[in-house]
Amino acid sequence: MEHFLYMVPYLLVECASSDELRAQYSLEPFTYERPTNIPPARVGDCGVYTLKYIECHALGIEFSKKDFAKPYGKSMRDKMAVDIF
C-alpha cells in the first residue's frame, strides 16, 4: 500500500490534461486507514457488503451491522444493481 500512497499523486499530476488541472494536484503522499472494527458479512453478501461499507465510509455515515440485517440484504442488492445499471 505504501508504494501507491506515493505513486498515485505523481500519476494524477502527469496525466492531467492541462496546466490548470496539474496545479490542482499536490505531490504530497496520500494517507490511508485500516479500520479493525468492521463486522463480518454473511456468506454470499460480501460484494454488496463491501460496496455499501465503502459508500458509507466515503459519506461519513456510521456503518452498523444491524443496518445490514438479513431483511435489508435483498433490497440493498436490488437498489445497487439498479444504480449500477
The answer to whether the CB of 13 falls within 8 A of the CB of 22 is yes
Nine cell digits for residue 42: 454473511
The C-alpha cell 503522499 sits at 29
The overall pTM is greater than 0.75: no
Largest CA distance in the chain: 51
Q: Quick one: how far is CA 84 from the chain centroid?
A: 15
Q: How confident is the model at residue 2 (pLDDT cuts 50, 70, 90)?
A: confident
pLDDT tens per residue across span 13-71: 888 888 887 788 888 898 888 877 776 766 777 777 788 888 888 888 887 767 666 66
